Structure 1
């Protein structure tokens, strides 16, 4: 089994970051034999639950499906492109939903932003717990909505694979190359529109 040296995945930052942030990355190689640790998964979900939201509206909902369940297979079937190739090896898949309107039909303008914060908290806590996550936007929202009979107020925003690192050599060549490629980001100066 060939695992990636996680030390080589640490972000090269201009100033030191908390290790849980600098060391977090999004693998595609998950261990197909590892069963998700329920306490660690619950801790990550608790972190999402306690993330901030506009007016404390908490507009997030999650579909949590463990590998080997019908719900997991349904999520995999609604992934697009190469996400279907690797994501089925994860210990669990988590669909993040935004409640874009309240029960009275009033728009929740910041719902998707708040869901993004919840997923970020989830991923950082998961990494702290020794799990790895990979967030995906390549999925069929309409397919998930139909498969899980979701009310129109709930919009699928992302799917997150979560589990333990697996064998990078088990990935097809193009995905293996992406897995082993150096981590890159735009320079800090390039993302600051104004910094006065």
Structure 2
């Protein structure tokens, strides 16, 4: 596995004094912009705030309880939106897939330039719609925090404990199947 994927994790203990340059932030946005898109629709849009600007302040106001304790230490917050398409289930589904692809590429780009990225669902989407005048044909799906990981001694103990938990995933034989559902895919060569 590529080191950017293997080393990726979603920190919460960000250095509240670290800044991200406009160039670095633009490279993260460009990574999202260049993500694959279904039918060349390109439904993904971003609301971008850097710490201390009005957009960042507005985005922090949308955070819900779990994220409100750590995400304001991010160097930037990016609200990732997509098409709403209420009457077209297929378009709505693939618009969400496009967001996932964009966010994934943004996370890897952030990691490649020395930042950590943490995708969040813990925000008030309706409040974001009102605050940023997001049109009815768009829906916010992910709030992405970008930051520099703080030294452990600079982080509150509850956040440090969560950040120090081992990163785990289900074993491959529980998530990848062949022949029938539940029959594990194996990487061993066929006889």
Q: TM-score interval w.r.t. the shorter chain?
A: 0.7 to 0.9
Residue of structure 1 in register with 2:178 after alignment = 195
For residues 74-115 of structure 1, the C-alpha deviation after alignment (integer angstroms, 9 at most, x for no partner) is 11111111201110111000000011239xx86633101111
Give the whole-Å Cα distance in 2 for the aligned partners of 1:100 and 1:88: 28
**Matched residue SS, 2:19:** coil
* Displacement after TM superposition at 1:48 (Å): 0.8
Give the whole-Å Cα distance in 1 for the aligned partners of 2:22 and 2:132: 22
Task: Find the structure with the greater CA-based Rg.
Answer: 2
Aligned residues: 177
Segments of 4+ moved more than 6 angstroms: none
Give the whole-Å Cα distance in 2 for the aligned partners of 1:28 and 1:171: 9
**Matched residue SS, 2:150:** coil
**Matched residue SS, 2:144:** strand
Residue of structure 1 in register with 2:58 after alignment = 74
Say which of 114, 129, 132 aligns to 1:130: 114
Give the whole-Å Cα distance in 2 for the aligned partners of 1:188 and 1:45: 31
Q: Does 1:101 align with 2:85?
A: yes
**Matched residue SS, 1:127:** helix
Give the whole-Å Cα distance in 1 for the aligned partners of 2:134 and 2:178: 42
Give the whole-Å Cα distance in 1 for the aligned partners of 2:124 and 2:153: 28
Residue of structure 1 in register with 2:41 after alignment = 57
Residue of structure 2 in register with 1:9 after alignment = none
Say which of 16, 23, 27 aligns to 1:32: 16
With normalisation by structure 1, the TM-score equals 0.85
With normalisation by structure 2, the TM-score equals 0.87
Give the whole-Å Cα distance in 1 for the aligned partners of 2:136 and 2:112: 34
**Matched residue SS, 2:105:** helix
* Displacement after TM superposition at 1:39 (Å): 1.7
Say which of 117, 129, 152 aligns to 1:145: 129
Asked if the contact 1:64/1:94 (under 8 Å) is kept, the reply is yes
Gaps of 5+ in 2: 180-191
* Displacement after TM superposition at 1:160 (Å): 0.6
Alignment of 1:114-193 (within 5 A): 114-192=98-176
Asked if the contact 1:59/1:100 (under 8 Å) is kept, the reply is no
Gaps of 5+ in 1: 1-16
Q: Does 1:113 align with 2:94?
A: no
